[in-house]
């Protein structure tokens, strides 16, 4: 719970509901987060820009395809979750700017996004700051016309940003007592440069469209008066422009300094402005072609062909992506976990791994560390520490010299963490799969093999040899993953139905409601899981199931109460659904 609890809480709840292991949940959520982001983009396009239903469908499909080649899918899952919730927050904020409810829903989604990754919530706060500046001229005119300052576009943007930021800062600093900087791996200029080159080539179409989005979206999207008021549309265009400017500046800054990863800004750029611009262009082009040929199916054929072409980079990325987790290493880690589970509570234990690591190159030790932690009993994962280097150096209490500067940077955090523990002589384990050369050295110097592929370099021997853990279950197949992904998306939607009804104005467009429910459900589960954990409810097993049930029930009850209140107000002749919630 000490750092970025959003994704772990969601993963634990989903695992309890589906019966999947956390390894299986990770593979399924990597499939779910892409459509979650896409649905959020679609809801914003419909509610903010007022796009017609055809454009909404095309935009959702386009967003789902465009995110595939980025590193948000299957890799940076906390960041993907964070972005999905931030995009989702823009829809209720658009309704609030239009004069309806939505401020509290926007704030709640932003707080949930901060729990997923507060580093990148700060980036979104910069987007809101730019949107605030863009909104000032029209907001001043509205204020002069009698609109209360906090009800103007700039006022609502400012309140949402400040309040959500303050709540997240309080949670991080005072409640979780976690570091505000959560970067886990040192900056690697070579990796940053390589990723940027690759991603620029993969995303050339959506990135070009994204940079043009502030100029072309007004012409490509024709709003329906019932769907989006002039104020909602103006806010949406300001938000898209601000998002584009901030991410473009981040790419330039990252490329020039290589202090921050520019590819992350590029992924942000294409997810919202890129998807909106490409989706609107495809929808408009399909409609034009259908009108010329007088065959309505022509539009669908054009869009499918274009999306298939856009999907090629994603397919190439996914099927050329290396398999980074070694099943044998995970099996040995689970075997070693049985030894660790028998140690006294909170006893620190050190795993020795090699610099050579294997995949992914210089970050092999990082992958080894994550594999080892997955193999530990849940309660002991925090007791694991890593030493990278030779057995003799560990026993002597000194750092093994890294082979190069990149390896030194990637593994420096491990040495800073473990150096203070070595004088206390904690138990030390070596896994053959994560340190083959060091394993042989340790065994050659007399370290006993206490289980298949597990050597005990130092520490109390177990009473009997450890039996081998079974080979880990494979992640679901592609088709099984799709079925499970749809099931998880449905679970998220059920969790969000009542809360979405509470967040949106009366008689909201069904497309907006359908798009937004799984995003709102995700945010509600993160906040509900956080509250339950702080109250002492474990976010796993029965505790996670109970948390899900409470979130669903609370949303349903509050939604029904609010609906009855709206009906009474309409019966009395008052304005329905215009209050701020």
Please report the pLDDT score of residue 361 as a whole number. 66
Please report the pLDDT score of residue 539 as a whole number. 80
Residue 37's pLDDT band, with cuts at 50, 70 and 90, is very high
Low-confidence winner among 144-158, 239-253, 279-293 (lowest mean pLDDT): 279-293
Is the model's pLDDT at 577 over the cut of 70? no
Please report the pLDDT score of residue 294 as a whole number. 74
Is the model's pLDDT at 295 over the cut of 80? no
Residue 579's pLDDT band, with cuts at 50, 70 and 90, is very low
Is the model's pLDDT at 166 over the cut of 50? yes
Query: Which letter does DSSP use for residue 463 in this model?
Result: S
Find which of 83-87, 188-192, 360-364, 400-404 is predicted with most confidence, using mean pLDDT.
Answer: 83-87
Low-confidence winner among 134-138, 289-293, 519-523 (lowest mean pLDDT): 289-293
Please report the pLDDT score of residue 300 as a whole number. 87
pLDDT tens digits for range 315-346: 887 766 656 678 889 999 999 999 999 999 88
Please report the pLDDT score of residue 469 as a whole number. 87
What is the spatial order of strands in the sheet that 349-353 belongs to?
Answer: 384-388, 349-353, 428-431, 454-458, 449-451
Task: Work out the average pLDDT over 468-474.
Answer: 77
Please report the pLDDT score of residue 220 as a whole number. 84
Q: Distance between CA atoms of 357 and 362, rounded to whole angstroms?
A: 7
Cβ pair 165, 157 in contact under 8 A: no
Task: Work out the average pLDDT over 406-426.
Answer: 89
Residue written as token pair 């179409």: 205
Is the model's pLDDT at 580 over the cut of 60? no
Task: Work out the average pLDDT over 573-580.
Answer: 47
Residue 408's pLDDT band, with cuts at 50, 70 and 90, is confident
Low-confidence winner among 27-41, 55-69, 207-221, 400-414 (lowest mean pLDDT): 400-414
Is the model's pLDDT at 109 over the cut of 60? yes
Please report the pLDDT score of residue 271 as a whole number. 95
| Closest C-alpha to 120, from 153, 165, 68, 67 | 165
Residue 362's pLDDT band, with cuts at 50, 70 and 90, is confident
Looking at every residue in the chain, the average pLDDT score rounds to 88
Please report the pLDDT score of residue 225 as a whole number. 46
All residues at 6 or more sequence positions from 29 whose CB lies less than 8 Å from its CB, including other chains: 10, 11, 14, 77, 488
Q: Distance between CA atoms of 44 and 41, rounded to whole angstroms?
A: 5
Task: Work out the average pLDDT over 91-107.
Answer: 93
Please report the pLDDT score of residue 322 as a whole number. 59
Is the model's pLDDT at 367 over the cut of 80? yes
Q: Which residue has the higher pLDDT, 422 or 193?
A: 422
Cβ pair 135, 242 in contact under 8 A: no
Q: Distance between CA atoms of 550 and 497, rounded to whole angstroms?
A: 13
Query: Which letter does DSSP use for residue 430 in this model?
Result: E
Q: What percent of the chain has pLDDT over 70?
A: 93
Please report the pLDDT score of residue 1 as a whole number. 39
The token pair at 187 is: 């900056």
Burial degree of 137 (CB within 10 A; 0-12, 13-18, 19+): exposed
Helix, strand, coil percent content, the chain, rounded in steps of 5: 70, 5, 25
Residue 221's pLDDT band, with cuts at 50, 70 and 90, is confident
Please report the pLDDT score of residue 318 as a whole number. 72
Task: Work out the average pLDDT over 421-446.
Answer: 95
Please report the pLDDT score of residue 226 as a whole number. 58
All residues at 6 or more sequence positions from 551 whose CB lies less than 8 Å from its CB, including other chains: 495, 521, 524, 525, 528
Q: Distance between CA atoms of 91 and 236, rounded to whole angstroms?
A: 9
Q: Distance between CA atoms of 564 and 186, rounded to whole angstroms?
A: 54
pLDDT tens digits for range 248-274: 999 999 889 877 889 999 999 999 999
Low-confidence winner among 401-415, 468-482, 533-547, 557-571 (lowest mean pLDDT): 468-482
Is the model's pLDDT at 77 over the cut of 90? no
Predicted TM-score (pTM) of this structure: 0.86
Q: What percent of the chain has pLDDT over 90?
A: 61
Task: Work out the average pLDDT over 402-422.
Answer: 88
Task: Work out the average pLDDT over 378-383.
Answer: 77
């Amino acid at each position: 719970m000490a750092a970025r609890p959003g994704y772990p809480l969601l993963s634990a709840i989903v695992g309890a509901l589906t019966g999947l292991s956390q390894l299986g949940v990770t593979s399924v959520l990597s499939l779910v987060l892409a459509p979650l982001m896409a649905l959020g983009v679609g809801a914003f396009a419909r509610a903010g820009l007022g796009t017609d239903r055809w454009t909404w469908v095309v935009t959702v499909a386009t967003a789902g395809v465009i995110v595939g080649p980025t590193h948000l899918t299957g890799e940076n899952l906390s960041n993907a979750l964070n972005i999905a919730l931030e995009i989702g927050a823009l829809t209720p904020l658009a309704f609030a700017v239009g004069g309806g409810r939505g401020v509290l829903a926007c704030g709640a989604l932003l707080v949930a996004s901060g729990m997923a990754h507060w580093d990148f919530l700060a980036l979104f706060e910069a987007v809101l700051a730019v949107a605030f500046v863009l909104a000032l001229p029209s907001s001043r005119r509205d204020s002069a016309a009698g609109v209360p300052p906090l009800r103007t576009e700039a006022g609502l943007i400012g309140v949402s940003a400040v309040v959500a930021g303050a709540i997240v800062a309080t949670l991080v600093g005072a409640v979780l007592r976690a570091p505000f900087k959560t970067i886990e791996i040192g900056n690697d200029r070579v990796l940053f440069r390589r990723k940027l080159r690759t991603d620029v080539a993969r995303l050339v179409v959506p990135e070009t469209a994204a940079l043009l989005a502030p100029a072309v979206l007004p012409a490509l999207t024709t709003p329906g008066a019932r769907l989006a008021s002039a104020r909602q549309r103006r806010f949406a265009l300001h938000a898209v422009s601000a998002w584009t400017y901030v991410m473009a500046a981040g790419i330039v800054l990252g490329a020039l300094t290589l202090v921050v990863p520019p590819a992350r800004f590029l992924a942000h750029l294409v997810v919202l402005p890129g998807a909106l611009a490409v989706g609107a262009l495809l929808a408009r082009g399909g409609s034009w072609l259908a009108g010329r040929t007088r065959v309505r199916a022509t539009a669908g054929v054009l869009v499918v062909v274009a999306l298939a072409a856009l999907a090629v980079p994603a397919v190439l990325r996914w099927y050329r992506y290396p398999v980074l987790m070694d099943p044998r290493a995970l099996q040995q880690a689970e075997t070693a976990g049985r030894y660790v589970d028998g140690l006294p509570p909170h006893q620190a234990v050190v795993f020795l791994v090699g610099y050579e690591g294997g995949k992914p190159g210089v970050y092999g030790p990082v992958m080894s560390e994550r594999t080892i932690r997955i193999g530990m009993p849940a309660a002991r994962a925090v007791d694991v520490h890593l030493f990278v280097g030779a057995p003799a150096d560990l026993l002597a209490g000194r750092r093994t010299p890294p082979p190069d500067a990149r390896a030194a940077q990637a593994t420096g955090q491990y040495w800073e963490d473990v150096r203070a523990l070595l004088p206390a002589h904690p138990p030390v384990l070596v896994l053959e799969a994560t340190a083959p050369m060091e394993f042989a050295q340790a065994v050659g110097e007399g370290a006993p093999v206490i289980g298949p592929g597990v050597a005990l370099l130092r520490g109390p021997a177990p009473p009997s040899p450890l039996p081998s853990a079974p080979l880990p279950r494979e992640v679901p197949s592609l088709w099984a993953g799709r079925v499970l992904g749809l099931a998880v998306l449905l679970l998220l939607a059920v969790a969000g139905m009542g809360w979405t009804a509470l967040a949106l104005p009366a008689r909201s467009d069904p497309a907006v409601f359908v798009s937004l429910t799984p995003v709102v459900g995700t945010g509600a589960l993160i906040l509900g899981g956080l509250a339950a954990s702080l109250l002492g409810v474990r976010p796993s097993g029965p505790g996670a199931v109970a948390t899900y049930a409470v979130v669903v029930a609370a949303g349903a009850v509050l939604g029904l109460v609010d609906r009855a209140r709206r009906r009474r107000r309409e019966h009395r002749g008052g304005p329905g659904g215009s209050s701020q919630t």
